[in-house]
Structure 1
Amino acid sequence: MSRSLPSALTFPNPVNEYAARATAGLVVVLAVVAVIVNSPIVYGLLALGFVLRVMAGPRFSPFGRLSVHVIVPKIWRKTKLVPGPPKRFAQTIGLVFSGTAFVLSLLGFGLAAQIVVGLLIVAASLEAFVGVCLGCVAFGFLQRQGIIPETVCEACNNLSLRQPAS
């Protein structure tokens, strides 16, 4: 049975924290390459990865699939389920940064693109190596301020709705 387009474009909820961290590590590697090479093509690939992950989580993203199907089950072998909406929000912020870098590089502002991606490297490194998701922190802040409705992520504020770690 084939999936309908809307169901194929859903973001997973919950998300394995370790898969998100592995994906962030892969983003760090590509982002460092982007800064070194300073080419619109590499910035475009970085932005495309974020587009794919924002659309449907790891389903269409090579980095997401590698994290979910290889790195986590065969190397890390850990599961910690966390709410999906903050992770999608974080991916969206990554898209804004990488998309901005892509446009800047197309317009000939390579140094500006490198600086923007440098900021992305800092955020992705915090996620990958420390387990701190800045986008998730921002999501929580916006939710507490009422800017993001609680209905977007009820599990974010209600610990009883979260699934236990295994």
Structure 2
Amino acid sequence: MPHDTSVVDPRALRFTAAITAAVLALVLVLPSPWREALLAVQAVVFALGVFVSLSASPWAWLFRTAVRPRIGSPARTEDSRPPRFAQAVGLAFTLIGLVALATGLTAVGLVAVGFALVAALLNATTGFCLGCELYLTTRRLARPLA
């Protein structure tokens, strides 16, 4: 069955945010080079969400195949543009973290990962998507004054 990539199940967003938070938490506690390798994996997951579709990530596949069949279809869906923007923000923070960690700027790298972790935890635990709100705010600010 094809997946509509213009809308997304909000439960999938929280599920994938929870996995992302777990991955990022591991990055903060693992020693090098394991943390860089795991952060690179998460960067690829974010990149799939940004450049392919939200449903292309392995975390979304896990939700779609293991969770959603057990809980059924969502009562409502959401526009995929804000969460895709949020994935781009996550990608930016993970890439900053990855480059910083790889070049010996450990504190900078861990702070960047920490910011991404906080955003993922916020989404996973409350459903509040910081990147989505940033997307909506920038859209409002970009509107011409009438």
Q: For the superposition of Structure 1 and Structure 2, which TM-score range results when normalised by the shorter chain?
A: 0.7 to 0.9
Q: How does 1:62-141 map to 2 (within 5 A)?
A: 62-74=58-70, 76-77=71-72, 79=74, 80-141=76-137
Farther-moved stretch of structure 1 (112-121 vs 38-47) = 38-47
Unaligned runs of 5+ in 2: none
**C-alpha separation in 1, matches of 2:138 and 2:110:** 28
- C-alpha displacement of 1:21: 0.9
- 1:31 corresponds, among 6, 17, 24, to 24
Unaligned runs of 5+ in 1: 1-9, 150-166
- C-alpha displacement of 1:111: 2.2
- C-alpha displacement of 1:53: 1.3
**C-alpha separation in 2, matches of 1:81 and 1:134:** 18
Contact kept, 8 Å, 2:54 with 2:84, in 1: the verdict is: no
**C-alpha separation in 2, matches of 1:122 and 1:72:** 25
**C-alpha separation in 1, matches of 2:19 and 2:102:** 24
* Aligned-residue identity in percent: 27
Contact kept, 8 Å, 1:40 with 1:106, in 2: the verdict is: yes
Contact kept, 8 Å, 2:27 with 2:39, in 1: the verdict is: yes
- C-alpha displacement of 1:91: 0.5
Letter in 2 for 1:71: V
Structure 1 residues 77 and 128, CA, compared in 2 at 3 Å: closer, same or farther? Answer: farther
Q: TM-score, normalised by structure 2?
A: 0.85
Q: How does 1:150-161 map to 2 (within 5 A)?
A: none
The runs of 4+ residues in structure 1 deviating greater than 3 Å are none
Indicate the SS of the match to 1:145: helix
Residues 22-44 of structure 1: CA deviation (Å, up to 9, x unaligned): 00000001001111115321111
Q: TM-score, normalised by structure 1?
A: 0.76
Contact kept, 8 Å, 1:22 with 1:72, in 2: the verdict is: no
What is aligned with 1:4? Answer: none
Structure 1 residues 33 and 140, CA, compared in 2 at 3 Å: closer, same or farther? Answer: same
Report the number of matched residues. Answer: 138
**C-alpha separation in 1, matches of 2:59 and 2:83:** 15
**C-alpha separation in 1, matches of 2:80 and 2:54:** 12
Residue 14 (structure 2) pairs with residue 18 (structure 1): no
Structure 1 residues 11 and 90, CA, compared in 2 at 3 Å: closer, same or farther? Answer: farther
Letter in 2 for 1:138: L
